[in-house]
Amino acid sequence: MTDSKYFTTTKKGEIFELKTELNSDKKEKKKEAVKKVIASMTVGKDVSALFPDVVNCMQTDNVELKKLVYLYLMNYAKSQPDLAIMAVNTFVKDCEDPNPLIRALAVRTMGCIRVEKITEYLCDPLRKCMKDEDPYVRKTAAVCVAKLHDMNPTLVKEQGFVELLNDLLSDANPMVVANAVAALTEMNEQQTVIEVNSQMVNKLLTALNECTEWGQVFILDALAGYTPRDERETQNICERISPRLAHANAAVVLSTVKVLMKLIDLMPADSDFITQLTKKLAPPMVTLLSAEPEIQYVALRNINLIVQKRPDILKQEMKVFFVKYNDPIYVKMEKLDIMIRLAQQNNISQVLSELKEYATEVDVDFVRKSVRAIGRCAIKVETSSERCVQTLLELIQTKVNYVVQEAVVVIKDIFRKYPNRYESIISALCENLDTLDEPEARASMIWIIGEYAERIDNADELLESFVEGFHDENTQVQLQLLTAVVKLFLKRPGVAQALVQRVLSLATQDSDNPDLRDRGFIYWRLLSADPAAAKNVVLTEKPLISEETDLLEPSLLEQLVCHIGTLASVYHKPPSAFIDPAKAPLRQINTIPAAKFGSSLLDTSSASNASRNGSSAPTVIPSQDQVIADLLSLDLNAPATSANTGGYGGGMSGTTSMGGLDDLLGLGGDPMPTTAPMAQSNNPFDSLAGLGMPSSAPIPQQPASIGGLAEIFGSGGFGGSTGMTYPKEMWLDASRAMGMQVEGTFVRRNGRIFMEMTITNKAMQAISGFALQFNKNSFGLIPVEQINPSPILPNQSQNYTIACDTTGAVQVTTPLTNLQVAIKNDINAFYFATTVPLIAYFREDGQMEKREFLEEWKSIPEQNEQQFTLQNTHNMNADAICTKLQQNNIHTVARRQVDNQQLLYHSVKYTNNLNVLSELKVNSQTTTITLSLKSKNQMAIANMNEVFQTLLN
């Protein structure tokens, strides 16, 4: 009979019956009872009441029964820590059992029971097992040290377990060495406990050949963290690990490639040894492509990184990346990417022939990518551009809708790369104008019409056909249409005057999109003020687009190459992007190759060494992601004109500096100078001045609120803040952000400002690729970390906590708490305005001495004092008021009693070190409180009375 019988019992009083059976004198009956207990535990029943009875079963020579009891203990010891200590004596006894399997089982179980009370009893048995005569016990004990270190790192150091692990690296058994290396590597992720030296490397290399495949992976990972002393040692390590490239296990092969890639960087670029080594690297990677599709995909993702770093390694292996008819789509896509990266003049004919075939496949996504690949070939290999263009024209003649649309997009890129060379094909593109229904294709076609408007006779009619449905178009199309019409107007003013006025009106007066509106305002001002300048700006010569727009950023590529063979190399993201550091401390080794010989990468401090041999970034147009990131850096509230070029800190002529906040917040003058009226002239641009457009785009205002507490420069006299926090408010509605809804607030914790935000995806597709930017503001508030770019699926929400700092650029806003925010995703960039609670800028170390307070109070002129009347609705006494204010970093300096009034004196220090002093007159016979505020700059007092009133409420 099978063990399924243990899962089918339905007796009443089952716990009582099990208890009776567990205490039976018959061994077989006792074993059957433990099996029933384990079965109940497996299906989720609570059998913790049987803990003492199960523990009593440990006293047995039966290995099977002992394993079952240990399994039960591991599951329930955490909920029954006091009872778990009962088992300690048995553990200690089992660690000295003649049977090595029982000794290993006992020490493994003690390591898995994560109860602090037991760890102190674990040390002596563990120390004995690490010196055990049986290698199986020693290798189990090595892993147990890592588990103990996770619970209590200090105990591991004090008890000398690190030194014992170091001794195990010299063990005669290779599996013991591998487990010791694995344990040390895991411990080093939290803090450096040991560094690899040359003697240790020799021991690891000796054990490498005899280990199991996973033991080899552990050792190779450790070797990846070692930096050889000189070139000779580097070559020696390369020669000794190169045979691992022929291993049957893909993980061993990729780990070996990772170590070799790192060591190649440490050798002179002109070394003959590098040439020999790169020849050895190609065959094993090609071999991986004959495995199962899943392994092929992982291998291709890693090869993609390797080709970006060192394309010479696989430059002769183009044919192995040609797509097979039965490849899964994810493998086809990766192969296509690598084909483009390897494309060069000597193989471009083969590549184009393949791509043309792929463009006739049935899989739409694959066909689209193939068409785009043809365009990338034209941009990358100039000699092939003529043939690529002809191939694209042939594909357009097929009249397959999605093929035509992709072809138009890539032809636009070809025009950007080779201006004034292939304009003869524009007429063929215009024939397909009516079939374009995708935003990117329509935007590309509009760009072509605008760029070559002087060569297209009916350009105005073509653009007007798009203007008819302007508000129904995608934002990308609207922006491109606006620019194209302005280009047409600048080139042929006579035919486009009415059209440009209409488009500018649609963009600035009828649109809610701030991007579109602001661009419209810019064009309107340019055209109205200086047509010659407008021509120079809009019709300026375009820089060439980059050959490889999808290359990874060099420093990220360096980091990912050091993670070959891990999830990071499959995701093409650093581990920090998808690992929660609270649950698993991030690996701080192997992230950046060392800049010189002689330092160990197992030392976390060496992670800051500069990367070597990193490929330089293209000097032409950056990728789309970079462009969007740059747009987020634009000042959303910059002055329209400014005569003062001396920066925000200087005062304007005719204005008296107010001191204090002037210098700290940049309040030298009028933050928004007005624009003089435009003079009339007879040129065709004059009619634009009659549109009645405002001088700047309005910024949406949201009601002020007082929310979280934070401070950037570090906590002062108080630790965690227990101040007031407010619920999140709606910052960006889904209707304004193409389905992305943003809610949030600002809180202050432990001396830091945090932006707490919830992003909800109300669109039909996943959104990802988030980035965040603050505009210049009164306190220089900026985010010091970014949103996790992981996708948010439809109808799901994700919470983010973004740490902020006050070290950014400063520009005064009215009120001081105003903050303008830009947030982008993979669809577009969106903007909103909110207010940061004033108490978020109150520092924890704002407590002033009485004498210091008195001197500053006297030094501030009377005209800088303001009085307010507050309502003490809850009739709080002086003690309660001081406690409440102190919790929110409004520090009590002194108190005194005058007749029936309590006089309370408080100090507040902003993050820019400006002080605000206050006096509260609390009368026990009334519910009104008189508040007096003084500061060296009156603007620092603005809205401060609202803060006090809110806290009193």
Q: Which of 756, 816, 742 is nearest to 781 (CA)?
A: 816
Q: Which of 361, 388, 291, 372 is nearest to 337 (CA)?
A: 372
Residue 549: predicted pLDDT: 59
Q: Are residues 802 and 879 in the same domain?
A: no
State residue 857 phi and psi, 5-degree precision: -60, -45
- Residues 6 or more apart whose CB falls under 8 angstroms from that of 842 comprise 709, 711, 748, 888, 889, 890, 908, 909, 910
Distance CA 316, CA 294 (A): 24
User: What is the average per-residue pLDDT within 608-617?
Assistant: 38
Q: Which helix (H) or strand (E) holds 656?
A: none
User: What is the average per-residue pLDDT within 164-169?
Assistant: 86
Q: In this structure, is residue 18 part of a structural domain? A: no
Please report, for the domain that includes residue 856, its CATH number. Answer: 3.30.310.10
CA angle 175, 176, 179 (to 5 degrees): 85
User: What is the average per-residue pLDDT within 325-340?
Assistant: 91
Q: Are residues 854 and 821 in the same domain?
A: no
Q: In this structure, is residue 24 part of a structural domain? A: no
- Per-residue pLDDT of 578-595, as tens digits, reads 886 544 443 333 333 333
Q: Which helix (H) or strand (E) holds 528?
A: helix 514-529
Cis amide linkage into residue 815, ω under 30° from 0: yes
Kindly report the average pLDDT of the chain as a whole number: 78
82 and 116 in contact (C-beta within 8 Å)?
no
Q: Are residues 810 and 850 in the same domain?
A: no
Distance CA 910, CA 313 (A): 57
**What Å distances lie between residue 783 and 137, 165, 708, CA to CA?**
51, 43, 15
Which pLDDT band, with edges at 50, 70 and 90, does 819 fall under?
very high
560 and 569 in contact (C-beta within 8 Å)?
yes
Q: Which two tokens stand for residue 739?
A: 């389905």
Distance CA 389, CA 422 (A): 8
72 and 31 in contact (C-beta within 8 Å)?
no
Give buried/exposed letters for 266-283 (b at 16+ CB in 10 A, else e): bbeeeeebbeebbebbbe
Residue 703: is it exposed, middle or buried by C-beta count within 10 angstroms (0-12/13-18/19+)? Answer: exposed
Residue 907: predicted pLDDT: 93
* pLDDT at 488 > cutoff 60: yes
Long-range contacts of 356-363 (CB under 8 A, 24+ apart): 356/391, 356/394, 356/395, 358/323, 359/395, 359/403, 363/329, 363/332
Q: Are residues 829 and 898 in the same domain?
A: no
The DSSP 8-state label assigned to residue 235 in this structure reads H
Residue 255: predicted pLDDT: 92
User: What is the average per-residue pLDDT within 815-843?
Assistant: 89
Q: Which two tokens stand for residue 764?
A: 């039909």
Residue 298: predicted pLDDT: 94
State residue 243 phi and psi, 5-degree precision: -60, -20
**What Å distances lie between residue 319 and 335, 347, 354, CA to CA?**
10, 10, 10
Q: Which of 748, 938, 739, 903 is nearest to 838 (CA)?
A: 748
How far from each other are the two terminal CA atoms of the chain, in whole angstroms? 72
Which pLDDT band, with edges at 50, 70 and 90, does 2 fall under?
low
In this structure, the chain runs to a length of 953
223 and 185 in contact (C-beta within 8 Å)?
no
Q: Which two tokens stand for residue 868?
A: 């307010």
884: left (phi over 0), alpha (psi -120 to 50) or beta: alpha
Q: Which helix (H) or strand (E) holds 342?
A: helix 329-342
* pLDDT at 150 > cutoff 80: yes
Distance CA 895, CA 899 (A): 13
865 and 932 in contact (C-beta within 8 Å)?
yes
Please report, for the domain that includes residue 770, its CATH number. Answer: 2.60.40.1150
CA angle 20, 26, 31 (to 5 degrees): 75
Q: Could you tell me the residue range of the domain that residue 762 belongs to?
A: 706-840
Residue 571: predicted pLDDT: 92
User: What is the average per-residue pLDDT within 163-184?
Assistant: 87
Final residue belonging to a domain, choices 798, 823, 840: 840
Final residue belonging to a domain, choices 778, 809, 840: 840
Q: Are residues 822 and 711 in the same domain?
A: yes
User: What is the average per-residue pLDDT within 263-283?
Assistant: 87
Q: Which helix (H) or strand (E) holds 667?
A: none
Lowest mean pLDDT among 111-115, 336-340, 580-584, 934-938: 580-584
Distance CA 575, CA 581 (A): 10
835: β partners: 818
Task: Give the chain's domain count.
Answer: 2
Identify the residue whose tokens are 């002080």: 915
Residue 722: predicted pLDDT: 52
Say how many C-beta atoms besides its own lie within 10 A of residue 421's C-beta: 12
Residue 121: predicted pLDDT: 76
- Residues 6 or more apart whose CB falls under 8 angstroms from that of 604 comprise 188, 191, 192, 588, 589
Based on C-alpha coordinates, what's the Rg of the chain?
35
Lowest mean pLDDT among 456-460, 478-482, 625-629: 625-629
Which pLDDT band, with edges at 50, 70 and 90, does 335 fall under?
very high
Proportion of the chain above pLDDT 90, given as a percent: 15
Residue 906: predicted pLDDT: 92
Say how many C-beta atoms besides its own lie within 10 A of residue 654's C-beta: 6
Identify the residue whose tokens are 């040290």: 145
Q: Are residues 755 and 858 in the same domain?
A: no
Q: Which of helix, strand or coil describes residue 614? A: coil
Q: Which two tokens stand for residue 735?
A: 């209707």
- Residues 6 or more apart whose CB falls under 8 angstroms from that of 753 comprise 708, 710, 711, 712, 746, 747, 781, 803, 804, 805, 806, 836, 840, 841
Which pLDDT band, with edges at 50, 70 and 90, does 259 fall under?
very high
Q: Which helix (H) or strand (E) holds 76?
A: helix 63-76
Q: Which of 695-699, 700-704, 831-835 has the highest mean pLDDT?
A: 831-835
Q: Are residues 870 and 809 in the same domain?
A: no
Handedness of CA 788, 794, 799, 802 (dihedral sign): positive
Q: Are residues 836 and 908 in the same domain?
A: no
Q: Are residues 793 and 775 in the same domain?
A: yes
Q: Which of 276, 181, 173 is nearest to 220 (CA)?
A: 181
Q: In this structure, is residue 520 part of a structural domain? A: no
Which pLDDT band, with edges at 50, 70 and 90, does 334 fall under?
very high
Final residue belonging to a domain, choices 840, 856, 891: 840
Q: In this structure, is residue 774 part of a structural domain? A: yes
Q: In this structure, is residue 648 part of a structural domain? A: no
Q: What is the pTM of this model?
A: 0.57
- Per-residue pLDDT of 37-85, as tens digits, reads 888 888 888 887 887 788 777 777 777 888 888 888 888 777 777 777 7
**What Å distances lie between residue 852 and 841, 843, 864, 944, CA to CA?**
21, 17, 18, 21
Distance CA 171, CA 135 (A): 9
* pLDDT at 544 > cutoff 80: no
User: What is the average per-residue pLDDT within 812-826?
Assistant: 88
Q: Are residues 834 and 780 in the same domain?
A: yes
* pLDDT at 707 > cutoff 90: no
905: β partners: 894, 919
Q: In this structure, is residue 814 part of a structural domain? A: yes
Q: Which two tokens stand for residue 343?
A: 């494309």
Q: In this structure, is residue 69 part of a structural domain? A: no
Residue 330: predicted pLDDT: 93
Distance CA 85, CA 730 (A): 53
Residue 486: predicted pLDDT: 92
Q: Are residues 738 and 856 in the same domain?
A: no
Residue 757: predicted pLDDT: 92
Which pLDDT band, with edges at 50, 70 and 90, does 4 fall under?
low
Q: Which two tokens stand for residue 36?
A: 């029933």
Q: Which helix (H) or strand (E) holds 544?
A: none
Q: Are residues 872 and 832 in the same domain?
A: no
211 and 169 in contact (C-beta within 8 Å)?
no
821 and 774 in contact (C-beta within 8 Å)?
yes
Q: In this structure, is residue 413 part of a structural domain? A: no
Distance CA 395, CA 359 (A): 8
Higher pLDDT, 62 or 359: 359
Identify the residue whose tokens are 């996708």: 791
Residue 581: predicted pLDDT: 58
* pLDDT at 98 > cutoff 70: yes
Q: Which of 259, 153, 274 is nearest to 196 (CA)?
A: 259
Q: Which two tokens stand for residue 33?
A: 């009872």
Proportion of the chain above pLDDT 70, given as a percent: 83
